């Protein structure tokens, strides 16, 4: 009986050690460490070493064991691990010979090349359950599990599995069936999924831009915007308007930009800006202000902003008008009520007098 109990305890300890090792190897892995800013800052402080007490602030490790000595011993036993423990058993680091990859775009692209997008997980699934599922796929070594989340941080039910090699990822994709519980998982290359999402995003932006453009055209026509540059603090809206007037430009609006060095001049839709600038090509002004046509995309962007401002002004005016009408209505009601009360009082006086 005693021998069985000892073996049972040993099995439990081995299981805990295995979980500790797996978690720490993930923290210091190629797929996590290059992107973990917190750990990156820590390893710079002490030749790569990170205090176990610091690592225990990570909830997933602390959920396995909160005992620093247990964690240190688990790493010490694992001689072939990518991590090691110091002599005092209070710090852990990635072995110096295991060079940390540089987290550049090339490395990210290489990771994406061996990653699979999967859909069909319950939105209630926890990270532990997803990691356990990844570990249950015995024929594959999944080095990273990246759940996709809503803005509210809730799990979307989709994720990326990053495999040790592209060949493993391809073999996983070619499996006839992969299930999570009773649900068949939809699978495709992460790169293909991201490409499709980019297409959808670009289409969404195009629709938004088209809608904004149509909205702007209700207020402003293109071709009547001029940019003024080389402004100084002494240049005011009125000064710019004076110069425009000297050129016989019909100006609707002038706005000095935040940098105070440039301004936008919106003309009345009489003569296009290009023609006006041709007419003053050989002219100068006392303030040495230069005038130019904006690029098409810049003009659209500026007019979009002006449209937002215009709509805001109109909405404010409309709100103020409603408030005035509301106050007038209340005033008329109060006057009517006073008249009724006065008439009622007069009737009572007459009745009492009779």
Do 203 and 294 meet the contact criterion of CB atoms below 8 Å apart?
A: no
CA distance 304 to 152: 30
Name the domain boundary from 29, 64, 94.
Answer: 94
Name the band, by pLDDT with cuts 50, 70 and 90, for residue 6. very low
Q: Please check whether residues 249 and 282 belong to one and the same domain.
A: yes
Q: Are residues 85 and 113 in the same domain?
A: no
Around Cβ 22, how many Cβ atoms within 10 Å?
15
pLDDT bracket for residue 177 (50, 70, 90): very high
Helical spans, DSSP H, in the chain: 2-27, 37-45, 52-55, 59-62, 68-77, 105-113, 127-136, 166-174, 190-217, 237-246, 273-279, 296-353
End residue of a domain, out of 44, 65, 94: 94
User: Do 230 and 261 belong together in one domain?
Assistant: yes
Whole-angstrom distance, CA of residue 257 vs CA of residue 235: 12
Instruction: Give per-residue pLDDT as tens, 108-151.
Output: 999 999 999 999 999 999 988 998 999 899 999 998 999 999 99
Domain match, 68 and 132 both: no
Inside any domain, residue 89 = yes
Give the count of beta carbons closer than 10 Å to the beta carbon of residue 77.
14
Inside any domain, residue 71: yes
Rounded distance, CA 268 to CA 254, Å? 11
DSSP 8-state code for residue 35: G
Q: 79 pLDDT band (50/70/90 cuts)? A: confident
DSSP lists the bridge partners of residue 228 as 263, 291
Using the Cα atoms of residue 268, residue 272, residue 276 and residue 279 in order, give the sign of their dihedral: negative
* Spatial CA neighbour of 226 closest among 202, 187, 253: 253
Q: For residues 183 and 139, state if they share a domain.
A: yes
Give yes or no: residues 226 and 324 share one domain: yes
| Domain coverage including residue 192 | 105-197
Rounded CA separation 68/90 (Å): 7
pTM of the full structure:
0.65
For residues 178 and 232, state if they share a domain. Answer: no
Kindly report, residue by residue over 150-173, the tens digit of the pLDDT: 999 999 999 999 999 999 999 999
For the beta carbon of residue 85, count every other beta carbon within 10 angstroms.
22
Domain total of the chain = 3
Count of alpha carbons within 13 Å of 152, Cβ hemisphere only? 4
Whether the CB-CB separation of 79 and 59 falls below 8 Å is answered with no
Q: Based on the fold, state whether residues 190 and 278 are members of the same structural domain.
A: no
Q: Over range 219-248, report the average pLDDT.
A: 93
Q: Are residues 112 and 75 in the same domain?
A: no
Distance CA 340, CA 296 (A): 65
314 occurs within a structural domain: yes
The answer to whether position 78 is within a domain reads yes
Does 232 lie in the same domain as 152?
no
Backbone angles phi, psi at 111, to 5 degrees: -65, -40
Examine the fold and report which residue of 64, 94, 124 is the final residue of a domain before the chain moves on. 94
Please indicate, yes or no, if residue 212 is contained in any of the structural domains.
no
Counting Cα atoms < 13 Å in the Cβ hemisphere of 69 gives: 0
Check pLDDT > 70 for residue 216: yes
123 and 78 within one domain: no
Whether 339 maps to a domain, the answer reads no
Residue pair 90/147 in contact (Cβ under 8 Å)? The answer is no
Q: What CATH code is carried by the domain that includes residue 145?
A: 3.30.70.330
CA-to-CA distance for 197 and 192, rounded, in angstroms?
9
Looking at the fold, whether 137 and 164 belong to one and the same domain comes out as: yes
Are 33 and 40 in contact by the 8 Å Cβ rule? The answer is yes
> Angle formed by the axes of helices 105-113 and 190-217, to 10°?
120
The neighbouring-strand residues paired with 186 are 119
pLDDT band at 75 (very low <50, low <70, confident <90, very high): very high
Choice between 322 and 174, residue whose per-residue pLDDT is larger: 174
Least confident of 141-155, 215-229, 314-328, 340-354: 340-354
Residue 261 lies in a domain: yes
For the stretch 246-305, pLDDT in tens is 999 999 999 999 999 999 999 999 999 999 999 998 888 888 899 999 999 999 999 999
Q: Is 185 inside any structural domain?
A: yes
The answer to whether the beta carbons of residues 265 and 251 sit under 8 Å apart is yes
Domain containing residue 59: CATH number: 1.10.10.10
């Amino acid at each position: 009986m005693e021998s069985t109990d000892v073996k049972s305890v040993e099995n439990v300890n081995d299981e805990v050690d295995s979980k500790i090792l797996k978690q720490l190897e993930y923290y210091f892995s190629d797929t996590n460490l290059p992107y973990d800013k917190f750990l990156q800052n820590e390893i710079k402080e002490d030749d790569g070493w990170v205090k176990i007490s610091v690592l225990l602030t990570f909830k997933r490790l602390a959920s396995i064991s909160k005992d620093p000595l247990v964690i240190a011993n688990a790493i010490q036993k694992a001689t072939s691990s990518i991590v090691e423990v110091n002599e005092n058993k209070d710090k852990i680091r990635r072995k110096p010979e295991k060079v940390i990859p540089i987290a550049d775009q090339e490395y990210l692209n290489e990771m994406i090349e061996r990653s699979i997008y999967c859909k069909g997980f319950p939105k209630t699934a926890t990270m532990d359950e997803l990691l356990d599922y990844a570990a249950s796929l015995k024929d594959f070594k999944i080095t990273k599990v990246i759940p996709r989340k809503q803005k509210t941080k809730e799990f979307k039910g989709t994720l990326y599995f990053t495999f040790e090699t592209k060949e493993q990822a391809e073999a996983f994709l070619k499996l006839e069936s992969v299930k999570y519980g009773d649900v068949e998982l939809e699978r495709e290359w992460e790169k293909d999924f991201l490409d499709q999402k980019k297409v959808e995003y670009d289409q969404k932006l195009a629709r938004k831009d088209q809608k904004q453009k149509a909205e702007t055209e209700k207020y402003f026509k293109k071709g009547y915007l001029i940019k003024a540059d080389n402004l100084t603090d002494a240049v005011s809206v009125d000064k710019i308007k004076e110069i425009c007037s000297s050129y016989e430009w019909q100006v609707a609006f002038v706005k000095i930009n935040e940098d105070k060095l440039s301004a936008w001049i919106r003309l009345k839709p009489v003569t296009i800006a290009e023609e006006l600038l041709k007419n003053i090509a050989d002219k100068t002004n006392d303030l040495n202000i230069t005038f130019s046509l904006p690029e098409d995309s810049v003009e659209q962007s500026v007019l979009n902003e002006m449209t937002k401002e215009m709509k805001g002004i109109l909405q404010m005016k409309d709100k103020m008008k409603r408030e005035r009408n509301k106050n007038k209505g209340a005033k008329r009601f109060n006057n009517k009520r006073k008249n009724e009360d006065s008439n009622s009082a007069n009737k009572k006086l007459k009745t009492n007098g009779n």
